[in-house]
Amino acid sequence: MKDKAFETQAIRTQTERSSFLEHSTPMYLTSSFVFEDAEDMRASFAEEKDRNIYSRYSNPTTSEFIEKVCLMEGAEAGFAFASGMAAVYTTFAALLQSGDHILSSASVFGSTHSLYFNFFPKWGITTSLFDVHASKEEIVAKIQPNTKVIYAESPTNPGVDLIDLSLLGEIAQEHGLILIIDNCFASPYLQKPLAHGAHLVIHSATKLMDGQGRVLGGITVGRADLMDQVYRFARITGPAMSPFNAWVLSKSLETLAVRVDRHCSNALALATYLESHPQVAQVKYPFLPSHPKYEIAQKQMKAGGAVVAFELTGGLEAGRQFFDAIELLSLSANLGDTRSIVTHPASTTHSKLTPQERAASGIGEGMIRVSVGLEHIDDIQSDIAQALDKIL
């Protein structure tokens, strides 16, 4: 399937048909697998055979999902997890040792930030942050002798800022570091970090990959030798994705391209409308010419994604009034859903950060994050317009 188009890979990559000759791939809801004889069992546990043993290690349904994402991202290997944060934590835990140092963008998901400063220090792992607008020299200046990993999101959550992935790839190569990119906001349909020098790519499959707010999931894909370390740690610690969730996600990938195209067209239309609204101080969307990293977006993304961030002129109180006035859109912390969602990051997803930490991450008190769904754009825009008009 490597020579096929993205959409074809997403639809036609599937497990081998059983004797029933099913057209749609089945679910393998089994915890374990049987062996032909004692020698088969011995050889399987000795890893002399590439076969399923236990669904904590691998499962045909989960393997199908992993194979699809690897093809989409251009990766050598991968592992699927119970959630996006399980993927983030396990990837770090597998690759880092006590005494190692992480160099990360300051603009990361709130739970990732909590790992850096609330949990990793207990195990002797430290983290330094760089601004998303930092130059190469400023980023390199933060590298320490014990730095092991560079980590970043692009676009960032929730401020929809961008980082030049090729620049990070150059830094990682020049200094012998592992570059890990969270590609959740873009999906592999819009952006391929491995092509820009990343070694590993992480997704919260809960978001655009599922696309309908049904199941949790995460996945890490990338270079085979690094993924072998991640796999061996995950196989022992047990954060594996369930076969049911893998089946849902694998089927969802069949429509990823079609869905994301509509997400992007709706989001761009909404962002363009918001730019001229008097209650809006600033709009962030990668494919708006006013975005400070518009040229980078054009270089490394196919389109701008599903998320629009905007800052209300009235700050925190304006944000409260806006949320209370929303009628159609959902008030939720999720994103990448068919249903449009509005979120106030300062009081929800990033509420555990201090005001200073939020400011450093580009999160204003009046910032609104809109995950633009697949409803008709006129209805999405109308609901946001009426809510903005009710701000006093």
Q: Tell me: the pLDDT tens digits for 199-219? A: 999 999 999 999 999 999 999
Q: Is 219 helix (H, G, I), strand (E, B) or coil?
A: strand
Point out the least confidently predicted range of 30-39, 219-228, 268-277, 313-322: 313-322
The mean pLDDT value for 43-58 works out to: 95
Q: pLDDT at position 339, please?
A: 98
Q: pLDDT at position 242, please?
A: 98
The span from the CA of 48 to the CA of 302, in Å, is 42
Could you report the per-residue pLDDT of 106-129, keeping only the tens digit for each? 999 989 999 999 999 999 999 999
HEC string for 146-178:
CEEEEEEECCCCCCCCCCCHHHHHHHHHHHCCE
All domains of the chain, ordered by start, with CATH?
A: 6-253 (3.40.640.10), 256-389 (3.90.1150.10)
Q: pLDDT at position 388, please?
A: 95
Contact 391, 314 (CB under 8 A): yes
Q: pLDDT at position 244, please?
A: 98
The mean pLDDT value for 151-177 works out to: 96
Q: Is 87 helix (H, G, I), strand (E, B) or coil?
A: helix
The mean pLDDT value for 97-107 works out to: 97
The span from the CA of 288 to the CA of 295, in Å, is 10
Q: pLDDT at position 102, please?
A: 98
Q: pLDDT at position 346, please?
A: 76
Question: Which amino acid makes up residue 385?
Answer: A
| pLDDT of 332 strictly over 80 | yes
In angstroms, the first-to-last Cα distance of the chain is 56
| pLDDT of 230 strictly over 90 | yes
For residue 366, which of 283, 302, 275 has the smallest C-alpha distance? 283
- Residues of the chain with pLDDT > 90: what percent? 87
Q: Is 86 helix (H, G, I), strand (E, B) or coil?
A: helix
Going through the chain in order, the beta strands assigned E by DSSP cover 77-81, 101-105, 126-130, 147-153, 178-182, 200-204, 218-222, 280-284, 307-312, 330-331, 341-343, 367-371
The mean pLDDT value for 138-142 works out to: 98
**What are the distances in angstroms from CA 280 to CA 172, 284, 313, 363?**
38, 11, 6, 15
Could you report the per-residue pLDDT of 22-41, keeping only the tens digit for each? 999 999 999 999 999 999 99
350 — pLDDT class (breaks 50, 70, 90) = low
Question: Which amino acid makes up residue 124?
Answer: G
Computed over every residue of the chain, the mean pLDDT equals 95
